């Protein structure tokens, strides 16, 4: 297989894939699940249940009317014992439905399964994906149905299944490719039917060649001429959407635009498996594969975990910790989010949960020293940005300058901080500038909308007054 990669930038951190050879093990559903009402990018859901209600597995317990949203479902059967703000992996408290498991494992009755894709219209397949609460499971949590509904005039001609999994420690996608290759292929076929895409690729990093070979064998055996398995170089952040498109298609997604701009959709392999299960098994997103790893967990492995299982329960069920927990990360060590409590639950976007002891202090942000102008951050940035200059602008709160340096294109991959010999807190400062710029844009857009509304109202009033006057003159 030919080897593809993106340029410029990227790094190859120590892989630390401790759980590479550990097949998925299903954890027992816990006594209590804490299901955040919002687990996606977009409008927050509101609860459809109340305290005291009995719920079944797969029952919708939260939804929103907005286009960019994804419903949440109960992952156990039992009684709703609270609806209240609880810790969320994003670091805030979010309204959550707390359910006491009755261990009867009762499923909702109205499960519809599709046996042949030709039976269903593309728009109905999108409806199933929406109703089953599927979101990007690589960590982005963007609602998949929205991704597959391009605005008028935009066509999706290429699909890329993302099997790069470039973050150290994480092996969920790798195990998914080894253990569920046909579900990934089924997910791609569903997306081909929806979008009418002419080409589909499954991109796998070359440190997982066995997974690529297995997928290629399955594609050939099934006689699928429109799906091609390609190898991409083991490099971080090879799994970034824009980096993968550059590597596989040689196309550049323009600044500030989405992959759709170049006719492409990138989908995590776990998401494709979830899509296949939603369509062919009628299964909503109530559980997911997650890598549990790090140096402080007794039994690192790949586990299938019900959504809403807290870290506390995961520690218990996997055999406990080996040392005092000093750092808990959701996701990988490069882009993941540090957590402050073990009460936080696994959600749809939880690709990994990492546990570290004392040695984690080496990973903590270190004391900065002055910039030595070596330009390493610029050379290694996979988005071709100038991190040193954006960082400088951010520290001076010069948002105009940060914006002109395309700070909002930063994918927060952490590469600049990783390579900086002066240990400058580049990613953190760039993220701050990016958030402020995006907030400012939102305020400006709201102001503009209010101005347009007022203008329209005044024009209407003026027209009415004119007509009234005309009548009076007559
Ligand atoms: S965090 Fe942003 S600025 Fe830094 S290397 Fe990644 S994309 Fe570039
Ligand atoms: S890598 Fe660090 S020291 Fe080198 S130019 Fe960038 S900010 Fe300065």
Over the stretch 318-359, which tens digit does the pLDDT of each residue have? 999 999 999 999 999 999 999 999 999 999 999 999 999 988
Q: How far is CA 373 from CA 179, 318, 408, 424, in A?
A: 47, 46, 23, 11
Both 77 and 216 in one domain: the answer is: yes
Ligand nearest to the CA of 388: 2
Which of 362, 385, 420 is the last residue before a domain boundary?
362
Both 90 and 196 in one domain: the answer is: yes
For ligand 2, atom 1, name the residue with the nearest CA: 420
Both 353 and 373 in one domain: the answer is: no
pLDDT at 364: 65
Whether 450 shows a pLDDT value over 70: the answer reads yes
pLDDT at 72: 97
423 touches ligand 2 (CB under 6 Å): no
The ligand 2 atom nearest the CA atom of 391: 7
For ligand 2, atom 4, name the residue with the nearest CA: 374
The ligand 2 atom nearest the CA atom of 373: 5
For ligand 2, atom 6, name the residue with the nearest CA: 377
For ligand 1, atom 8, name the residue with the nearest CA: 381
- Number of DSSP helices (H) and strands (E) in the chain, helices first: 13, 18
405 touches ligand 1 (CB under 6 Å): no
410 touches ligand 1 (CB under 6 Å): yes
CA of residue 391 to ligand 2 center, whole Å: 10
For residue 335, give every residue at least 6 positions away whose Cβ sits within 8 Å of its Cβ, in sequence order, or none: 139, 167, 237, 412, 413, 414
Whether pTM > 0.85 for this model: the answer is yes
The CATH number of residue 347's host domain is 3.10.20.600
For residue 357, with 0-12 CB atoms within 10 Å meaning exposed, 13-18 middle and 19 or more buried, which class applies?
Answer: middle
pLDDT at 372: 96
CA distance 228 to 1: 10
CA of residue 472 to ligand 1 center, whole Å: 67
For ligand 2, atom 8, name the residue with the nearest CA: 371
Which of 345, 362, 379 is the last residue before a domain boundary?
362
Over the stretch 151-205, which tens digit does the pLDDT of each residue have? 988 999 999 999 999 999 999 999 999 999 999 999 999 999 999 999 999 999 9
386 touches ligand 2 (CB under 6 Å): no
The ligand 2 atom nearest the CA atom of 370: 3
Whether 362 shows a pLDDT value over 70: the answer reads no
Residue with tokens 């299960």, as numbered in its chain: 277
The CATH number of residue 134's host domain is 3.40.50.11540
Ligand nearest to the CA of 10: 1
Among 280-289, 376-385, 454-463, which stretch is predicted with the lowest mean pLDDT? 454-463
Q: Which residue among 414, 420, 435 is best mutated to probe the pocket of ligand 1, counting the most ligand atoms within 8 A of its Cβ?
A: 414
CA of residue 438 to ligand 2 center, whole Å: 25
Q: Which of 101, 92, 50, 97 is nearest to 71 (CA)?
A: 97
Both 380 and 473 in one domain: the answer is: yes
CA distance 332 to 340: 16
CA of residue 448 to ligand 1 center, whole Å: 31
Per-residue pLDDT averaged across 381-409, rounded? 97
Whether 363 shows a pLDDT value over 70: the answer reads no
Whether 366 shows a pLDDT value over 90: the answer reads no
Both 155 and 275 in one domain: the answer is: yes
Both 440 and 419 in one domain: the answer is: yes
Number of independent structural domains in the chain: 3
Over the stretch 261-309, which tens digit does the pLDDT of each residue have? 999 999 999 999 999 999 999 999 999 999 999 999 999 999 999 999 9
Both 163 and 27 in one domain: the answer is: yes
For residue 451, with 0-12 CB atoms within 10 Å meaning exposed, 13-18 middle and 19 or more buried, which class applies?
Answer: exposed
Per-residue pLDDT averaged across 111-133, rounded? 93
Q: What is the pairing mode between strands 78-87 and 54-55? A: antiparallel
CA distance 290 to 29: 14
pLDDT at 472: 85
For ligand 1, atom 7, name the residue with the nearest CA: 410
The ligand 1 atom nearest the CA atom of 412: 1
Whether 24 shows a pLDDT value over 70: the answer reads yes
Q: Residue 441: which domain range?
A: 369-474
Q: Which residue among 11, 365, 368, 374 is best mutated to probe the pocket of ligand 2, counting the most ligand atoms within 8 A of its Cβ?
A: 374
Q: Which of 268, 254, 264, 248 is nearest to 408 (CA)?
A: 254
Q: How far is CA 41 from CA 44, 66, 70, 90, in A?
A: 8, 12, 9, 11
The ligand 2 atom nearest the CA atom of 387: 6
Q: Where are the beta strands (DSSP E) in 9-150?
A: 25-26, 32-36, 46-47, 54-55, 60-63, 72-73, 78-87, 93-101
CA of residue 419 to ligand 2 center, whole Å: 8
Q: Which residue among 407, 427, 434, 435 is best mutated to probe the pocket of ligand 1, counting the most ligand atoms within 8 A of its Cβ?
A: 427
Both 159 and 186 in one domain: the answer is: yes
CA of residue 416 to ligand 1 center, whole Å: 5
Using left for φ > 0, alpha for ψ between -120 and 50, and beta otherwise, residue 339 falls in beta
pLDDT at 1: 77
For residue 251, with 0-12 CB atoms within 10 Å meaning exposed, 13-18 middle and 19 or more buried, which class applies?
Answer: middle
pLDDT band at 361, cuts 50/70/90? low
Both 329 and 423 in one domain: the answer is: no
CA of residue 17 to ligand 2 center, whole Å: 29
Per-residue pLDDT averaged across 20-45, rounded? 95
Whether 365 shows a pLDDT value over 80: the answer reads no
Which of 223, 255, 281 is the last residue before a domain boundary?
281
354 touches ligand 2 (CB under 6 Å): no
Both 353 and 374 in one domain: the answer is: no
Among 2-16, 19-33, 154-168, 210-224, which stretch is predicted with the lowest mean pLDDT? 2-16
| Neighbouring-strand partners of residue 385 | none
Both 294 and 227 in one domain: the answer is: no
Both 90 and 232 in one domain: the answer is: yes
Give the single-character DSSP code of 57.
B
| Neighbouring-strand partners of residue 62 | 47, 72
Could you tell me what percent of the chain has a pLDDT over 90?
A: 88
On whether the CB atoms of residues 179 and 24 are closer than 8 A, the answer is yes
For the chain, the straight-line distance linking the first and the last C-alpha, in angstroms and rounded, comes to 84
Whether 44 shows a pLDDT value over 70: the answer reads yes
Could you tell me what percent of the chain has a pLDDT over 70?
A: 99
The ligand 1 atom nearest the CA atom of 377: 5
Q: Which of 42, 260, 278, 256 is nearest to 140 (CA)?
A: 42
388 touches ligand 1 (CB under 6 Å): no
pLDDT at 356: 96
For ligand 2, atom 7, name the residue with the nearest CA: 388
For ligand 1, atom 4, name the residue with the nearest CA: 416
């Amino acid at each position: 297989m030919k080897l593809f990669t993106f340029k410029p930038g990227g790094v190859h951190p120590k892989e630390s894939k401790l759980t590479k050879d550990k097949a998925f093990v299903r954890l027992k559903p816990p006594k209590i699940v804490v299901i955040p009402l919002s687990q996606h990018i977009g409008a927050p859901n509101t609860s459809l249940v109340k305290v005291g209600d009995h719920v079944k597995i797969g029952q919708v317990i939260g939804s929103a009317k907005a286009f960019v949203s994804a419903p949440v479902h109960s992952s156990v059967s039992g009684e709703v014992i609270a609806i209240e703000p609880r810790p969320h992996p994003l670091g805030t408290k979010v309204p959550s439905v707390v359910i006491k498991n009755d261990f009867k494992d009762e499923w909702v009755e109205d499960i519809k399964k599709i046996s042949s894709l030709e039976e269903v219209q593309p728009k109905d397949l999108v409806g199933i994906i929406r109703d089953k609460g599927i979101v990007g499971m690589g960590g982005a949590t963007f609602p998949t149905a929205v991704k597959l509904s391009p605005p008028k005039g935009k066509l999706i001609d290429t699909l890329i299944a993302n099997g790069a999994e470039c973050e150290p420690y994480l092996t969920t996608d790798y195990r998914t490719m080894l253990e569920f290759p046909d579900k990934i292929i089924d997910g791609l076929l569903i997306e081909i039917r929806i979008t009418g895409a002419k080409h589909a690729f499954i991109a796998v990093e070359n440190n997982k060649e066995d997974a690529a070979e297995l997928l290629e064998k399955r594609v050939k055996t099934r006689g699928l001429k429109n799906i091609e398995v390609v190898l991409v170089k083991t490099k971080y952040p090879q799994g970034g959407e824009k980096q993968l498109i550059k590597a596989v298609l040689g196309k550049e997604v323009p600044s500030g635009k989405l992959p759709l701009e170049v006719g492409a959709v990138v989908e995590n392999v776990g998401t494709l498996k979830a899509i296949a299960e939603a369509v062919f098994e009628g299964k909503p997103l109530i559980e997911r594969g997650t890598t549990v790893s790090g140096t402080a967990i007794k039994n690192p492995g790949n586990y299938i975990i019900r959504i809403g299982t807290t870290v506390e329960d995961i520690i218990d069920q996997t055999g406990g910790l080996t040392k005092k927990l000093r750092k808990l990360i959701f996701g990988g060590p490069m882009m993941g989010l540090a957590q402050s409590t073990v009460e936080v639950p696994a959600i749809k976007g939880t690709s990994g949960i990492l546990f570290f002891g004392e040695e984690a202090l080496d990973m903590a942000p270190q004391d900065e020293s002055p910039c030595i102008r070596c330009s390493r951050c610029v050379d290694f940035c996979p988005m071709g940005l100038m991190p040193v200059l954006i960082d400088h602008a951010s520290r001076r709160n010069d948002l105009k300058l940060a914006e002109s340096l395309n700070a909002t294109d930063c994918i927060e991959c952490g590469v600049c901080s990783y390579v900086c010999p002066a240990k400058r807190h580049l990613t953190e400062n760039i993220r701050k500038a990016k958030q402020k710029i995006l907030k400012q844009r939102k305020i400006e857009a709201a102001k503009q909308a209010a101005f347009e509304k007022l203008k329209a109202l005044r024009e209407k009033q003026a027209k009415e007054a004119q007509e009234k006057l005309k009548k009076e003159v007559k």
